[in-house]
Amino acid sequence: MLKTIAPLILLPLLAPAQEQPGLDPGMKTIVQVAIVTRDIEASAKRWAAVLGMPVPSVTTTRPGQEVKVVYKGRPSSGRAKLAFFRLGQVVLELIEPVGGDTSWKQFLDEHGEGVQHLGFQVENLDEAIARAARMGMPVLHRGRYDRDNGDYVYIESEKQLGVTVEFLHSDRK
C-alpha cells in the first residue's frame, strides 16, 4: 500500500508552481545580462575571445536629455557606451558609463566592474513597475531606447535580490 501512496504524496512536490496573480509573462525569461565596465573596448575584446565571437561594435547612447533619462527621480545627462553579444535568447550587454548620474555609474563607483542587472522583456510596463513598487522595489533609473521605440526601467532591487532588475518594453507597432 505504501508503494501506491508514495507517488501521490510526491505529486504536489513535482507539479509546477502556481503562477502568482499579476505576474507579467515576460518575467519568466531573462533576455539580458549586463556587465558594467571601465573600458568597454578591452572588455569586448576579452569577451569575444572567451565566446569565440567577433568583437561587437561599440555605440554611445544619445544624450540623456534626448532619451528622457531619469535617475533617482531627476533628469540626467547620463550616457553610456554599449556593446552586445547575442547568445541565443540572452544578450550579454557591456556598459561603460559616460558622464552624468546613472545607475551604471553608481554601480561602478560602489562595486567596481561586474554584473549590474538582469533584463526582462515585459508586456505591461506600468503593471510591472507597480508590482515591483508594492514589493518595496521602486524605479531607480529609466529612459527611452535611442531609437525612441521603447523604454528601459531599472528597479532598485539590489538589496532584496542581489542584482538590479531591468524591465524592457518595446512600443506597440
pLDDT tens digits, one per residue of 136-147: 999 999 999 999
Encoded amino acid at 82, one letter: L
How many Å separate Cα 128 from the centre of its chain?
Answer: 13
pLDDT one-digit tens code per residue, 114-159: 999 999 999 999 999 999 999 999 999 999 999 999 999 999 999 9
For domain 24-170, give the CATH number.
Answer: 3.10.180.10
Q: Identify the CA nearest to 146 among candidates 24, 34, 62.
A: 62
Residues 30/120, Cβ–Cβ less than 8 Å: yes
> Which residues, given as ranges, of the chain have pLDDT below 70?
1-22
C-alpha cell at 9: 504524496
Q: What is the number of H-type helices and E-type strands within the chain?
A: 5, 10
